[in-house]
Chains A and B, each alone.
Chain A
Amino acid sequence: MYIEVKDACKNYVQDGREFTALDHVSLDIEKGEFICLLGPSGCGKSTLLNALAGFEKVNSGSVKIDGKEVTAPSINNITIFQNYGLLPWRNVLKNVELGLESKKVPKEEREKTAKKYLDLVGLSGYEKRYPKQLSGGQQQRVAIARGLAVDPDIIFMDEPFGALDAITRMKLQEDILRISREEKKTIIFVTHDIEEAVFLADRIVVMMADPGRIKSIVKVPLGTHRDRTNDDFLYVRDKIFELFNMKVDDYIEYNI
């Protein structure tokens, strides 16, 4: 298996109270999959993502990518954050070139690659702008281009569209779906928006809070072209809704 989480546990002490963010979580992900980690706040979805991305370590259990234990962030696995993380003192082009600089790519090639990915996210002509001159959606596009520019194997996305308005969010969802097909990246996407998860994911990992655990893994049988108003789409969405309302505590492998 490409990504392998086995029996991962993570505890925090918050305000003197112990808090279990991940309680014996196991998960396997194949190369090229689009996985959504879906759940309410406190269900450990961001903790799981941070453990996979190498920003946090689990207390017990193992987190492996391509057979190797994850110990630190790597330029092969890029994380996209909710608040973009662009460097405000660099223009758009220089922001996208950031990762290429540490890969020691020559200057001309850096510029060429950066422009290619800016074009891919629909921001050609914005090279000389600075982040604060862009809208939230455009800034996230720059962050996505910056991530893609280093040609990572995996892209982790931590509620990347959470700060955007509904229309912009839908547009970006469509774009990230298109990009994931074109670039053939493995994407792990954290969200608390059920519709977003159904629109994007090959499989949805449904998580529950207190303690943070995986409740169920749902395969989304909707193919590559997804229509939010389609009956099948609504059917899958309703199934997930039901899942959140269910009181049963046992693990269910879902196949629709």
Chain B
Amino acid sequence: MKKLLALKNVVISIAILIIIWQILFTVSNYDAALFPSPKMALDALVEMIENGRLFENISTSMYRFAAGYLTSVTVAVLLGLILGRLPKVFQYVNPALQLLRPISPTAWMPFIVLLFGIGDVPAVVIIFIAAFFPVLLSTVAAVGNIDPIYLKVSKNFGISQPALTWKVIFPAAFPQIANGIHLALGTAWIFLVAGEMVGAQSGLGYQIIDARNNIRADILLATILVIGIIGILLDGLLKLIEKLILRSWGGAQ
């Protein structure tokens, strides 16, 4: 019942969005080729599904996303677990991180394209950068916030490194680390599109540029919709994984 109600909310919310779109289409004087109706975008979507281009681009993008996001999360968490235990070292690392963090990953784009050329690498690198800082910083903070009693108990029971990290520190810090990983997912997905718009000849981001070049606003809007839907699905998938991990850990914290 609760799920059905939630579904009802989703349907109503999206219906309102489409109605507003339709009203804007009806009252505006723009050429239909430049500002298509929801129906036209839907037709374009069907067309892309039928000629197979959509799934080809989705799978290209997903591959890049998975490669960039997973390596970034792995590296950032490992580095964060180490730096979190070395506050004196982190004092020196932190200012550099704070300098690099506010730079939009797209700012690196020309540089990355110059170094690696057009293709998979620029998009993967952009995603890596986008996910790296939030995950690293939340991991360092999470390790610093661990209840000292866990460390006292570990010391007492003779748990030393590396067992200390994977038996105690990581699970104790996990809920807060998961927050960072979750936050980074959204950011990384946003920058995948940016990365593919500049540095690739395939994928969903490129499909947007391609649609613009061919003045196919209907394909453009259909692609935007697909990007949004995949974003929601990825978020839901991650929530599910988080829930499973926490449940296997007795709903820790």
A233 at interface by CB-CB < 8 Å:
no
Say which residue of A81, A98, A133 sits within 8 Å of B157 (CB atoms).
Answer: A98
CB atoms of B158 and A132 under 8 A apart: no
The segment from A12-20, A31-39, A86-94, A220-228 found at the interface with B is A86-94
How far apart sit A25 and B22, CA to CA, in the bound complex (Å)? 84
Q: Which residue of B lies closest to A78 (CB)?
A: B156
Question: A88-B253, A130-B250 are contacts. A75–B158 as well, Cβ < 8 Å?
Answer: yes
How far apart sit A89 and B156, CA to CA, in the bound complex (Å)? 19
| Chain A 47-81 per-residue mask, 1 if CB under 8 angstroms from chain B, else 0 | 00000010100000000000000001111011101
CB atoms of B150 and A87 under 8 A apart: yes
Say which residue of A99, A101, A132 sits within 8 Å of B250 (CB atoms).
Answer: A132
CB proximity to B under 8 Å, residues A129-183: 130-133, 146, 150
A83 at interface by CB-CB < 8 Å:
yes
Say which residue of A55, A72, A85, A102 sits within 8 Å of B150 (CB atoms).
Answer: A85
CB atoms of A87 and B251 under 8 A apart: no
CB proximity to A under 8 Å, residues B160-189: 160, 163, 167-168, 171-172, 174
CB proximity to B under 8 Å, residues A168-213: none
Interface residues contributed by chain B, number (CB under 8 Å)? 21
Residues of chain A within 8 A (CB-CB) of B171 are 87, 89
Residues of chain B within 8 A (CB-CB) of A74 are 156, 158
Q: Give the Cβ gap from A129 to chain B, nearest Cβ, in Å.
A: 8
| Chain A 87-129 per-residue mask, 1 if CB under 8 angstroms from chain B, else 0 | 1111100000011011100000000000000000000000000
Question: A85-B149, A88-B250, A130-B250 are contacts. A72–B155 as well, Cβ < 8 Å?
Answer: yes
How far apart sit A131 and B149, CA to CA, in the bound complex (Å)? 15
CB atoms of A102 and B149 under 8 A apart: no
CB atoms of A102 and B159 under 8 A apart: yes
Question: A88-B252, A130-B250 are contacts. A53–B158 as well, Cβ < 8 Å?
Answer: no
Question: A87-B168, A89-B249 are contacts. A102–B156 as well, Cβ < 8 Å?
Answer: no
CB atoms of A91 and B159 under 8 A apart: no
Q: Which residue of B lies closest to A94 (CB)?
A: B250
CB atoms of B250 and A85 under 8 A apart: no
| Max chain A C-beta neighbours (<10 A), residue from B153, B171, B253 | B153
CB atoms of B250 and A91 under 8 A apart: yes
B152 at interface by CB-CB < 8 Å:
yes
CB atoms of B152 and A55 under 8 A apart: yes
Pairs across A and B, CB under 8 Å, 13 listed: A72-B155, A79-B152, A85-B153, A88-B249, A89-B171, A89-B172, A89-B249, A90-B249, A91-B250, A101-B163, A102-B158, A103-B158, A130-B251
Nearest 6 pairs of A and B residues by beta carbon: A130-B250, A89-B249, A99-B157, A89-B252, A75-B158, A102-B158
Q: A55-B152, A89-B174 are in contact. List 18 more A-B contacts (CB 8 A).
A: A73-B155, A75-B156, A78-B156, A79-B152, A81-B153, A83-B149, A85-B149, A87-B168, A87-B172, A88-B249, A89-B171, A89-B172, A101-B163, A102-B157, A102-B158, A102-B160, A130-B250, A150-B157
